[in-house]
Structure 1
Amino acid sequence: MPQRHHTPVRRRRATALALVALGSLLVVTTPRIATAAPADATPAKHHAVPRAGAAPTFLSPAKHAALIEEARSGAAGTAKRLGLGAEEKLLVKDVVKDADGTVHTRYDRTYAGLPVLGGDLVVHDKGNRTTVTKAHAARLTVPSLSPKLSASGAADKAEAVSRGREVKGPEAESEPRLVIWAGGSGRSVLAWESEVRGVQEDGTPSELQVVVDATTGKRLLAAEKVHTGTGTGQFVGEVPLGTTPSGSGYQLTDPDRAGHKTYDLNQRTSGTGTLFTDDNDVWGDGTPSDRQTAGVDVAYGAAATWDFYKEVFDRNGIRNDGVAAYSRAHYGNNYVNAFWQDSCFCMTYGDGEGDNHPLTALDVAAHEMSHGVTASTAGLIYSGESGGLNEATSDIFAAAVEFHENLPADPGDYFVGEKIDINGDGTPLRYMDKPSRDGASRDYWSSTLGNVDVHYSSGPANHFFYLLSEGSGARTVNGVDYDSPTSDGLPVTGVGIENAQAIWYRALTTYMTSTTDYAGARTATLSAAADLFGAYSPTYLAVTDAWAGINVGDRVALGVNLAPTGDQISGIGQAVDLRLDAFTTNNGATLSYEATGLPDGLTLSPEGRITGTPTTLGTSEVTVTVTDSTGASASQTFDWRIAYVYGSSTRVDIPDNGPAVESAVTITGREGNASATTTVYVNIVHTYRGDLTVDLVGPDGTVYSLLNRSGGSADNVDQTFTVDASAQPLEGTWKLRVRDRAAADVGYLARWQLTP
C-alpha cells in the first residue's frame, strides 16, 4: 500500500508551554466523555455518565507514597483483620483512592518468609465496610518447607523449558528462589521460581519466568515477561513533541511527561543507546531514511499513552507514581517487532524488514506500554486465560488511545496494527469485532481457551470490549464497517467506548488479580459497572449481555431473576441446606419466596433457604416462585428425590502418573441388591481430566468404569454417572477408585456420593 509520510515537526518552547496549560485543563476527576470523533450513524447505544464518586483520584507522587507507607504500617493489622494465618504477611504493591474516599490497597503475600505467587489480593475499604478480592481463595498451607529438588536442579529444568521454546543461549539470570505457588486451581505448593534470559527466535529478548514444583519437579508455569507485537512501519503525521533545549540544540526529552527520553539504539540489541538530539527542533522528514522519523513516532506514542491515562483516569504515569519510562528506536537488524520490558521499564522498537519499516505505530506503543500498567496493577500472569486477558487489556487500551487521540493519519478503530502490512496485503493483525478473521483467534470462550497462545486467547475479551463499546451487528464507526456476531445469536447494545474503557480500567486496577480468568473478569467488570453506573442499571445489564455474547455467563432479564436449580437427590435422615439464588433488577424492590411440593421435613425460609431433614422416601415435584414488591415474579420446577445416599467428603490426593487411590463407604442394614440405575456423583479437582480413570468397585469386587481418560485437557470432574449395579448386594463396602495415568498434572478427590 502507499507509504504515508508526515511533514517535519517544529516545536518551539512557547508552543510547548501553551500545550502544558491546555493539558492541565483536561485533567478531570471523572472518566472523560467522548473527545474522539463521533461514530457514524448506527443503532442507538446506552448513554450514561459514570458516578463521580467511583472515579480514581489523582495522586501526586508524594500523596501516593504517603498512602503506600500508611498501608505498610498497618499491614500486620490488615492481615489479622482478614483472618490470614500466622505464617502469612502482606506486602503493599499499590494503593488507589476513589473520589468518595474509598481506598483499594493491592497486596502481595509471603508465607513463612517466602513470596507467594498467585497469592495477591485487593482490600477495599469504604468507611467501616471492608471487602477483599483474592487471587487464591483457599487457605495457604504446605506440608513442608524443605525442597526435595535442589536449586541447581530447578535451574536446569528452567533452562530446558527455555530451550524447548527455541530460545537461544538460555541462561538462568540468578539463583532460583524458593516460593509458594498458589497460581493453580488446586492447593498451594512449595516451588522454585527461575528467570531464564536469552534471545527468542525472532530476535526479541527473552525473560522466561519458570516455576517448578520443589518436590516433584513438575512445571507449574512458563511465562514470557517480554511482551511483544509485530508490524512493518507506521507514522503519526505532523504532531507536537515535547523536547528540551540542550546547549545550542535540543534533546528528545519530554519535560511535560516526567522527562520521558527517546533513544536511538543504532541497530544494537543491548544498552540504552544515544539520546536523540537536533540542532533546530525540527524532527524527522517523514521517511525511514531519516533516523529521527522513527524517534518522532516513538516519542509521540509515549506521550499519547501518558496523556490518555492521565486525562481519562487521572493515572500519573505507567506505575501511577509520576515516573517516566523510556523508549528505544532502531533495535537490531531486520527486526520485525516491538516489545515492553518491566525489567528496564522501557519500550523498544525494531525497524522491520530491510530496516526500512519502523515498528512505530501509535497502537503498537499504547499496546506495549499498557503491559506496564497491567504489571503494576492486576499483574495478570502471562499464561492461560489470565495471559489472554493480559494481552487483550493491551489491545483494549491501544484502541482507546487511538480514539482518544483521533489523529487524521490514524483515527480510532477496533483493529490492532491495522496499518502494519505484516502479511503484505494490508490486513490488520487482529480484529476486535470478529477476532477469528485473523485465522487464529477465538471469537468466544470455551473450556479449552486456556491452552491457546495468549495472542489468540485474547480474542474473546477483545470481542467483549467491542460488543460493550459498539454493540452487535452491522455498523460503521469512523468510516470503517464492522459486523459483530454473538455466541447466543441475541443482540447486544453498546454503551460507547468511553464507558467501556472506564469499566475495564476500574476492573483491572480495582478487582482483577494475577490469576483472574474469564469468569473472574466478568465478575470484576460487573463490580466495576455497579460502582460506576449502579447495579442492574442499563449499562450494568449491557455488560452481562456482552459477556453472554462471548459465551461467558448468562444474560440478566429485567425483573426477577431466579438461577436454575437442578434436580436434587438427598439422603433420608440427612440434613439439607439449599439456598435459592434470586435477585431483581427493580432497584429497591424486596423479594418474597414460596414453594409447593417440598419433601416431608423440609421448609422454605423468608430469605430463600430450604432446610430441614427429609423423613420420607420418594420423589416430589417442587415448584419455587420468587416475587418482588413490584409484582414481578419468576418460577421454576424441579424434582427432589429422597433416597438412601452414602458418600465421603474426605479429601484423597491423587499421585501424578502413579498408583490408584480409593475412597470407601460401607452400607449396613440394607437387604437386597442395588438398583439397575445406581447413580454415582464424583467431584475431582484436577488440571487435566483426560489423565484420569475413575471406577466404582462393588462389594463383590466387580469394577464399573465411570471415566476412562475422556474429556481431554478440561479441568476437574463434577459429574453424576449411572450404572447397572443390580448384580451387587447393597450391604458391604463400595469403593471409588481413581488413577492418574499421565505425567504433569495433579489433583485430588474432593467428595463422592453413591445412591444404589
Structure 2
Amino acid sequence: MTTPRAGMRRSAMVAGTAVAATALLATGLTTSAAGAAPASETGAQPAALTASARAEMLREANATKANIATSLGLGAKEKLVVTDVIKDVDGTTHTRYDRTYDGLPVLGGDLIVHQARSGDIKSVTKATNATVKVASTTAGVAPSTAAKAAIKLAEADHTTGASADQAPRKVIWAATGKPVLAYETVVGGTQKDGTPSELHVITDAATSKKLYQYQDVKTFTGTGRHNGKITPGTRTGTGTHTGTHTGTRTSTGTRTSTGTGTGQYNGKVPLGSVKSGSRWLLKDTARGGHQTYNAKHSTDQTKQGSPFYDADNVWGNGKPTIAQTAAVDAHYGAAMTWDYYKNVFGRNGIKGDGKAGYSRVHFGDQFGNAAWNDDCFCMTYGDGAGNKTPLTALDVVGHEMTHGVTSATAKLKYGEALGLDEATSDIFSTAVEFYAKNAQDPGDYLLGDKIDLNGDGTPARYMDKPSKDGLSYDYWESGMGNVDPHATSGVGNHFFYLLSEGSGAKELDGVKYDSPTKDGSTVKGIGRAKAEKIWYKALTTYMTSNTDYHAARKATLKAATDLYGTDSAEYKGVDAAWAGVNVK
C-alpha cells in the first residue's frame, strides 16, 4: 500500500517532469525504452492487485491528477478524471484519465500516463492529438432539438419505442478532427432483433447535424445479421457427460458451497451457490457475488428477473426443457471467464475491483442474441430458435463478459474501435474456451459453434478466415469504421489467429483451419498464450476510445516490446501478422 509520504514524493516527481511530458504529448504513443534490451515478460506483465490495493492506487491518482494535468500542459479549462489504473510487476503504472473542458465531458479526450516506479513519466498515450478548445460552450440549438434529431435517427434504424432516456448532455466531441461543442443523446427502445437499445447519438450543438452514433449495448452478433429472424436448427443436444468433479475448492463462510449442474453445452460442472434458508441460491460468492437470474421471457430491460433456487444444490438436466439448464451454462461460463482473467492476468473481476456483474437468462421469446450492458452491469441471454438453443455457450458468455472488461479499460467506442471491441471479445472468449478445458466444449477458433445461430450447424464466426461466415472482413480496408463492427472484427480475429497459429492449412484438435494472408506471405505463429498476453497488455495499457486498426498495430507492437523486446520472435510475429491482414 502506498503511504501518504510516498504519494507526496510521486507528486514532486510528476511536477518535475513537465517539460518532458509536454514533449511526449506531441507524439501520441511514445516510449523512453526504444531500442532497449529485451524486457522480461515477468517485469512487464500486469501485477495481481487486490481490490483494496487498486482502490488505494486510484485514490493516489486522484490526489495527483492536478499535477499530472499541469505536467502535460493541459489548458486552464481542462481537468482530468481518473478512470483506471494498471500496475506492472516491475512497478510501472498506467493510469487512464478522461478529460473535461469547462466542466463538460470530452468524448475522445481520454489519455493514459505511463509512469516508472520512481514516478517519472515514461510516455503518454492519447486518443487525440488535437488541442481541446472551443470558442464557446453556449449551444446554438436547444436540447429538445437534439433529442428529436436523435430519436428520428434511431427510428430510421428500426428501433421501436425510441425515446431519449434522459435530457441530452452538452459535450466536447473530440474523437475525430477538430473538437466541437456537441450534444450527446442516449436513445432507448428495442432494436429490430429484440435487443435492448442504448443508442448514443452525437449532434453538433450549433446545427443539430449528426457527428457520430454508436450502440452501447454490446451483443454477440450484429442485429442485422439474420434480419431479425431465426431459422430453427436441427441440433438436438450435446450428449452426456459421465465424468465426475472431485475438486476441493473452498470459499469463505459456512453457508457457501460448490453445487453441481448439468448444462446444455458444458455437461456436468461445478457451480458457486449459497444456502438461503432451506434452499440453495445460484450465487457465486467466491467470484464477486455473481448471480444468475431468470427473466422468464420478459423483455423488461429494467428488471433483473427472478433468482434461481434449488432444494438439493443440483441444477439443470442438460436439456432446454427446464429453466435451470441455461442458468447452469451462463453461471459456469461467468465463473470460467472470471477465473481466466484472474489466473492468467491477475485481474480481479471485470473492473478489477473484485465485484461481479450479474446474468439473466431466458430473455424475450426466441430472442437470438446475447448482450452486455454497462448501465445494469449485466449480461443478458436469449433462448434462440424455438427457445431451444439458448445463447449461453462458453464462448458467448466469455464474449459478453469481456465487453465489460473493455468498457472498464480502453472503452473502444468510436470508428474502427467498435470492430476492435468485438474482436477483443472474440479473442478472449476463445481464450476462455481453451482455458476451461471442458470436454463438452473444447477450445477452438470458431465462435458460436455450439448455439446453431445460423440454423444449419455452422459457427457464427471463424477466426482463421473470417469471410467464411459470409459477412466478416479478412483484411483491413478503408472505410470500415462505418460498417457493422461484428463484420470488421474479422480483421482483429484474423490477426489473432495468425499470431497464435500462423498461416496456411492445419488441423488442431480435430478442427481443420486454413488461414490466408493478404500479400501471400507466410506467417509463423508464436503460440496462443503469448498472443493473449500481448493483446491484453495492448488493450489495458495502450488502446484508447478511438483506437483504429493501425493504432492497434502500434499498441500491440509496444506491448510485444514491453514483454519480449524489439528483437524478439514475438515482436516480429506481431508485425508479420498485421501485414498478413493488410495493416502496415
TM-score per shorter chain, which class? 0.7 to 0.9
1:305 to 333, 337, 358: 337
Which residue of 405, 424, 434 maps to 1:393?
424
Shift of 1:177: 0.5
Kindly indicate whether the alpha-carbon contact (under 8 Å) linking 1:269 and 1:331 is maintained by their aligned counterparts in 2: yes
Aligned partners of 1:222 and 1:343: how far apart in 2?
18
**Which residue of 354, 360, 363 corresponds with 2:386?**
354
Paired residue type of 1:51 = E
Q: Deviation per CA, 1:600-641, whole angstroms, max 9, x where unpaired? A: xxxxxxxxxxxxxxxxxxxxxxxxxxxxxxxxxxxxxxxxxx
Residue in 2 that maps onto 1:87: 77
**Conserved? CA contact 1:420–1:427, under 8 Å:** no
2:38 is aligned with 1:76: no
CA contact (8 A) 2:389 2:451 kept: no
Determine which of 557, 563, 567 is the counterpart of 1:526: 557
Structure 2 equivalent of residue 247 of structure 1: 277
Q: What displacement does 1:63 show?
A: 1.0
Structure 1 residue runs of 4 or more that deviate by more than 4 Å after TM superposition = 230-234
- Equivalent residues in 2 for 1:502-581, closer than 5 Å: 502-553=533-584
- Tell me the secondary structure at the aligned position of residue 416 of structure 2: helix
Residue matched to 1:718: none
Q: Higher strand proportion, which one?
A: 1
Aligned to 2:224: none
Q: Is contact 1:266-1:331 (8 Å) kept?
A: yes
Contact 1:50 1:499 in 2 (8 A): no
Q: Secondary structure at the match of 1:70?
A: helix
**Number of the residue aligned with 2:523:** 492
The equivalent residue for 2:310 is 278
Whole-angstrom CA distance in 1 between matches of 2:452 and 2:55: 44
Any residues of structure 2 matched to 1:448-459 within 5 Å, and which? 448-459=479-490
Give the equivalent residue in structure 1 for 2:166: 174
Matches of 1:254 and 1:458, distance apart in 2? 32
The separation in 2 between residues aligned to 1:356 and 1:421, in whole angstroms, is 10
In 2, Cα distance between equivalents of 1:249 and 1:425: 40
* In 1: Cα distance, 2:329 partner to 2:40 partner: 33
Residue from 216, 220, 233 that aligns with 1:229:
220
Q: Partners of 2:278 and 2:162 in 1: how far apart? A: 45
- 1:214 alignment counterpart: 205
Gaps (5+ residues) in structure 2? 1-37, 222-229, 238-263
Cα deviation, residue 353, structure 1? 2.0
CA contact (8 A) 1:384 1:454 kept: no
Q: Which residue does 2:288 correspond to in 1?
A: 258
Q: Which amino acid letter does the alignment assign opposite residue 78 of structure 1?
A: I
Question: Aligned residues, how many?
Answer: 504
1:296-375 pair list within 5 angstroms? 296-375=328-407
SS in 1 for 2:573: helix
> In the alignment, is residue 53 of structure 1 matched against residue 34 of structure 2?
no
Counterpart of 2:56?
66
1:461 equivalent in alignment to 2:451: no
CA deviation vs aligned residue, 1:687-717 (integer Å, no higher than 9, x gap): xxxxxxxxxxxxxxxxxxxxxxxxxxxxxxx
1:194 equivalent in alignment to 2:224 = no
Measure how far apart 1:278 and its partner are.
0.4
Residue in structure 1 matching 2:98, options 108, 124, 131: 108
Separation (CA, whole Å) in 1 of partners of 2:283 and 2:479: 46
- Counterpart code for 1:227: K
Mapped to 2, the partners of 1:264 and 1:301 lie a distance apart of 16
Give yes or no for contact 2:560–2:571 (8 Å, CA) kept in 1: yes
Partner of residue 204 from structure 1, selected from 181, 192, 195: 195
Question: Is the CA contact 2:363–2:382 (under 8 Å) kept in the aligned structure 1?
Answer: yes
3-state SS in 1 of match to 2:524: coil
Larger RCO (CA within 8 A; separation ≥ 6) = 2
Supply the distance in 2 between the matched residues of 1:165 and 1:424 (Cα, whole angstroms): 25
1:36-92 deviation digits (Å, cap 9, x = unpaired): xxxxxxxxxxxx996101111111111111111100111110000011111110000
Give the distance between the partners of 1:395 and 1:116, measured in 2 at CA.
29
2:151 maps to which residue?
159
Unaligned runs of 5+ in 1: 1-47, 554-756
Contact kept in structure 2, 1:96 and 1:104, CA below 8 Å: yes
* Alpha-carbon offset, residue 265 of structure 1: 1.1
The 3-state SS of whatever aligns with 2:362 is strand
Structure-1 residue corresponding to 2:31? none
8 Å CA contact 2:384, 2:453 repeated in 1? no
Q: CA deviation at 1:422?
A: 2.1
What fraction of aligned residue pairs are identical, expressed as a percent? 56
CA–CA separation in structure 2 for the residues paired with 1:304 and 1:245? 22
The answer to which structure has the higher helix fraction is 2
Note the aligned Cα RMSD (angstroms).
1.4
Deviation string 1:561-616 (CA, Å, 9 cap, x unpaired) is xxxxxxxxxxxxxxxxxxxxxxxxxxxxxxxxxxxxxxxxxxxxxxxxxxxxxxxx
- Contact preservation (8 Å) 1:136, 1:182: yes
Cα distance, 1:358 vs structure 2: 1.5
1:433 aligns with 2:464: yes
Report the CA distance between 1:218 and its aligned residue: 1.5
Amino acid in the other structure paired with 2:576: D
Question: Is the contact made by 1:468 and 1:496 (CA closer than 8 Å) also made in structure 2?
Answer: yes
Letter in 1 for 2:282: L
Question: 1:138 offset after TM fit, Å?
Answer: 1.4
Alignment partners' CA distance in 1, 2:367 and 2:283: 25
2: CA distance, partners of 1:50 / 1:157: 53
Amino acid of the structure 2 residue aligned with 1:197: G
Which secondary structure does the structure 1 equivalent of 2:272 belong to? coil
> Cα–Cα, structure 1 residues 50 and 366, in superposed 2: closer, same or farther, change >3 Å?
farther
* Contact 1:198/1:206, CA 8 A, preserved across alignment: yes
2-side partners of 1:129 and 1:268: how far apart?
51
Letter in 2 for 1:265: A
